[in-house]
Amino acid sequence: MTLPPLPVIDALQASSARMADRHTPFIFDDWYVAAFSDEVSARLLARTLLGRGIVLFRSAEGKVVALEDRCPHRSMPLSVGALQDDHIVCAYHGMRFNSQGDCIHVPSQSNCPKSMGVRAYVTFERGPLVWIWMGAPESADLSLLPDQAWLTTEHWATSQGYMHLQASYVRLHENLLDLTHLSFLHAKSFGTPDYASAAYKTEIKPGHFVVMRDVLPTTLPPVWGESTGITGHGQAARIVRSAFLSPGCHEVSVSFYDCTLTEEERQIFRIRTAHLPTPETASSAHYFVVHGRDFAQTDTNMTQFMHQQLFVAFNEDVTGLAQQEAALARTPPNELYEFSVAADGPAVAMRRYLLTRARSKV
C-alpha cells in the first residue's frame, strides 16, 4: 500500500468536509455545563467556554451568575476583581457591575456611560451541574436541556469528576458513539475483547444518535464484576445504550445481570454515566463526568472503588484523543483523509449534524 487511489482520497476528503471537527465553529445556541455546582461560590471563578472568557459566582441568594469576563472599560478580566454585595468591582479602576452585567458605578465620575455593561449569560442549575446557555439570552430554551432525572433523585448514588481534554469536543462525542474502541483503548480497564464485535442497533435522527449493544454472555471487568458480584467467566450480560443527547451531553446507560439465572431470579444492576464536554478552544474541552448506579447506594467504599476504576478508563480516552488531535493537526491538509467503517454510522451522522447546526447558527 502506498496511498489509496486519488479518486478514493478525493471522496474521503469530500466526506470529511461534511463532518464537524476542530475547524467547525462552536454551536452557541445550546446548553453546556459551565461548572459543577460545588465549584461555584462567592469566589469569582474564571473559565473559558466556547472560546469566551466567562466569570462565574454564586449570589447571596444562591443564584449562579455568569458574565463576560472582560471589563468593557479597559478589558481587565473581571475575574481578578472583587465580589461585593453580588457586584463585581473591577480590579483596575473600580468599575462596578451588578449581576445583570450592567455597569452601576464609575468611581471617577458621578454617572455611568449609557449602555455600558457586559454580557450576562443565562444559567440553570440542576442537581450537581450548572448549565449555561451560550447564545442570546432571549433564545434560551429549557426544553433543549437534556432530560436526566437520575441526576437529581436519591435512588441513584453518584460521583463526579473533571478532566481537561486536549482535543475537540467533537472527537469526544465521536468516541462515545463508537464503543468498539472499548476492546482496544480500554483493554486494560473496562473493555473486553468481545465488545468490538458484539451485535448492535442504532437510532439515527437529527440530534438523536444512539448505539445499543448487547454483550452477552460475557465476562465483566473488575469495576462491574466486583461491584455487582457477577464474577463468573462468561456468566454476565452487559446491555449498553449510548446516546448523544446534545452538543454538551452524552449519556451511557448500562444494565448488568447474571445470565445463568432466570428472568425472575436475576437482579438487574444499572449504571449511568453523563459525559459532559464543553468546548474550551477549538482543540480543547472541559470534560465533566457524573457517574451513577441504582444499587448499593449508601456503600461509599463502592462509590470510591468504581470512581477510581472508571476514571482510569476515562483518562485513557483523554490521553488517546489528545494523541489523535495532535496527529490530525500535524498532517498536511492535502494528505489528510479518514476512512469510515459501518460502526461509525452514528458518529458520522452526529458529526454531520454538528456541522449543520454550527453553520445554521441554530
Answer yes or no whether residue 2 interacts with its own copies by CB under 8 A. yes
In the complex, what is the shortest distance from the CB of residue 179 to its own copies, in angstroms, rounded to a whole number?
A: 10
Q: Distance between CA atoms of 260 and 238, rounded to whole angstroms? A: 13
**Angle at Cα 45 formed by Cα 149 and Cα 361, nearest 5°?**
60
Nearer to its own copies, 110 or 143 (CB): 110
Answer yes or no whether residue 101 interacts with its own copies by CB under 8 A. yes
Nearer to its own copies, 112 or 216 (CB): 112
| 162 membership: H or E segment, kind and range | strand 157-165
Answer yes or no whether residue 76 interacts with its own copies by CB under 8 A. yes
Nearer to its own copies, 150 or 200 (CB): 200
Count CA within 13 A, CB hemisphere, residue 181.
18
In the complex, what is the shortest distance from the CB of residue 315 to its own copies, in angstroms, rounded to a whole number?
A: 14
Applying CB under 8 A, among 34, 64, 83, 89 the residue interacting with its own copies is 89
Cell 450592567 -> residue: 102
Applying CB under 8 A, among 153, 260, 267, 323 the residue interacting with its own copies is 323
Q: Which of residues 264-283 bind its own copies (CB under 8 A)?
A: none
By rule CB under 8 A, what count of residues binds its own copies? 71
In the complex, what is the shortest distance from the CB of residue 303 to its own copies, in angstroms, rounded to a whole number?
A: 30
What does the longest C-alpha to C-alpha distance in the chain come to? 79
Whether 294 contacts 255, CB under 8 Å: no
Applying CB under 8 A, among 36, 92, 124, 305 the residue interacting with its own copies is 92
* Dihedral over Cα of 274, 279, 282, 285: its sign: negative
Applying CB under 8 A, among 39, 106, 202, 309 the residue interacting with its own copies is 106
Nearer to its own copies, 151 or 211 (CB): 211
Nearer to its own copies, 315 or 340 (CB): 340
Applying CB under 8 A, among 4, 206, 222, 234 the residue interacting with its own copies is 4
Q: How far from 95 is each of 49, 74, 159, 329, CA to CA, in Å?
A: 24, 10, 40, 42
Applying CB under 8 A, among 262, 330, 334, 360 the residue interacting with its own copies is 330
Cell 449508601 -> residue: 298
Q: Which of residues 114-133 bind its own copies (CB under 8 A)?
A: 114-120
C-alpha dihedral (185, 186, 187, 192), degrees to nearest 10: -120
Q: Which of residues 38-67 bind its own copies (CB under 8 A)?
A: 48, 51-53
Applying CB under 8 A, among 31, 45, 69, 237 the residue interacting with its own copies is 69
> For the chain, what percentages of helix, strand and coil (3-state, to nearest 5) are there?
30, 35, 40
Nearer to its own copies, 219 or 227 (CB): 219
Q: Which long-range contacts (CB under 8 A, 24 or more apart) does 192-199 make?
A: 192/218, 192/219, 192/220, 192/221, 194/218
SS3 of residue 132 by DSSP: strand
**Angle at Cα 19 formed by Cα 16 and Cα 22, nearest 5°?**
95
Contact partners, residue 207, CB within 8 Å, separation at least 6: 244, 246, 353
In the complex, what is the shortest distance from the CB of residue 216 to its own copies, in angstroms, rounded to a whole number?
A: 17
Answer yes or no whether residue 206 interacts with its own copies by CB under 8 A. no
Q: Which of residues 140-179 bind its own copies (CB under 8 A)?
A: 174, 178
